[in-house]
């Protein structure tokens, strides 16, 4: 006996059922002649993904994850640098705008400090070191003794890279309100 304790008619019926299925492709699907349906084969004994397919899928997934990490890192560092540049421009403009409230004697007498520090506390904090230089205006006209060239410079270190910014403006003894051509 073959291991089936069935009546001969049941055995014949099982053998006919086995013959009614035909393999139709290499992906382990079977076609039933009786119903015309396609059924997936059972996982037992059927081949799965090959090692090459698994390695390619793993490589692609790794590449995508690393690319996303790099994109986010680049984006965050660009945002950080933009914030630092914006803060530097604000500091420079603030220092130049404060010159408007000083009278001429304070600008020419050394009353304004030449060195200063400012900070920016977002993203770990940055300390800006600044200088203010007040020099005679580089003009040869008759009013040159009533003009001063003011240069405000900043320097700071961002992610190990030294950065610099500066702004220059002219200051007049009488201001723009009393200008006469």
At 23-74, the pLDDT tens digits run: 554 444 544 445 555 555 555 555 677 888 899 999 999 999 999 999 999 9
Task: Output phi, psi for 158, to 5 deg.
Answer: -125, 115
pLDDT in tens, 90-134: 999 999 998 888 888 888 888 889 999 998 876 668 899 999 999
pLDDT of residue 48: 74
> Is residue 137 situated within a structural domain?
yes
Average pLDDT on 161-170 reads 93
Element (H, E) at 115: strand 115-120
Q: Indicate whether 85 and 167 sit together in one domain.
A: yes
Q: Indicate whether 25 and 108 sit together in one domain.
A: no
Q: Which residue, among 119, 178, 115, 179, has the nearest Cα to 152 in the 3D structure?
A: 115
> Would you state the structure tokens that stand for residue 16, as one six-digit string?
């006919």
Structural domain range at position 110: 51-172
Q: Provide the pLDDT confidence category of residue 10 given band limits of 50, 70 and 90.
A: confident
Q: Indicate whether 32 and 107 sit together in one domain.
A: no
> Is residue 45 situated within a structural domain?
no
Q: Provide the pLDDT confidence category of residue 21 given band limits of 50, 70 and 90.
A: low
Assessment of whether the complete model's pTM goes beyond 0.85: no
> Is residue 46 situated within a structural domain?
no
Q: Indicate whether 25 and 68 sit together in one domain.
A: no
Q: Indicate whether 144 and 80 sit together in one domain.
A: yes
Place of tokens 């996982």: 43
> Could you give the CA distance from residue 138 to residue 99 in angstroms, rounded to a whole number?
19
pLDDT of residue 122: 67
Task: Give the total number of structural domains in the chain.
Answer: 2
pLDDT of residue 176: 60
Q: Which residue, among 77, 86, 171, 155, has the nearest Cα to 117 in the 3D structure?
A: 155
> Is residue 77 situated within a structural domain?
yes
């Amino acid at each position: 006996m073959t291991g089936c304790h069935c009546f001969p008619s049941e055995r014949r019926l099982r053998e006919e059922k086995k013959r009614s299925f035909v393999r139709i492709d290499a992906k382990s699907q079977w076609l039933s002649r009786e119903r015309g349906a396609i059924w997936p084969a059972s996982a037992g004994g059927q081949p799965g993904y090959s090692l090459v397919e698994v390695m390619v899928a793993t490589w692609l997934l790794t590449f995508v994850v690393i690319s996303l990490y790099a994109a986010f890192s680049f984006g965050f560092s660009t945002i950080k640098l933009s914030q630092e540049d914006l803060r530097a421009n604000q500091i420079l403009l603030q220092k130049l705008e404060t010159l408007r409230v000083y009278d001429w004697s304070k600008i020419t007498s050394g009353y304004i400090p030449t060195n200063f520090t400012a900070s920016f506390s977002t993203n770990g904090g940055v300390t800006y070191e600044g200088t203010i230089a007040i020099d005679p205006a580089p003009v040869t006209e008759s009013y040159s003794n009533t003009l001063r060239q003011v240069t405000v410079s900043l320097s700071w270190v961002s992610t190990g890279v030294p950065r610099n910014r500066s702004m220059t403006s002219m200051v007049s003894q009488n201001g723009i309100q009393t200008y006469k051509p």
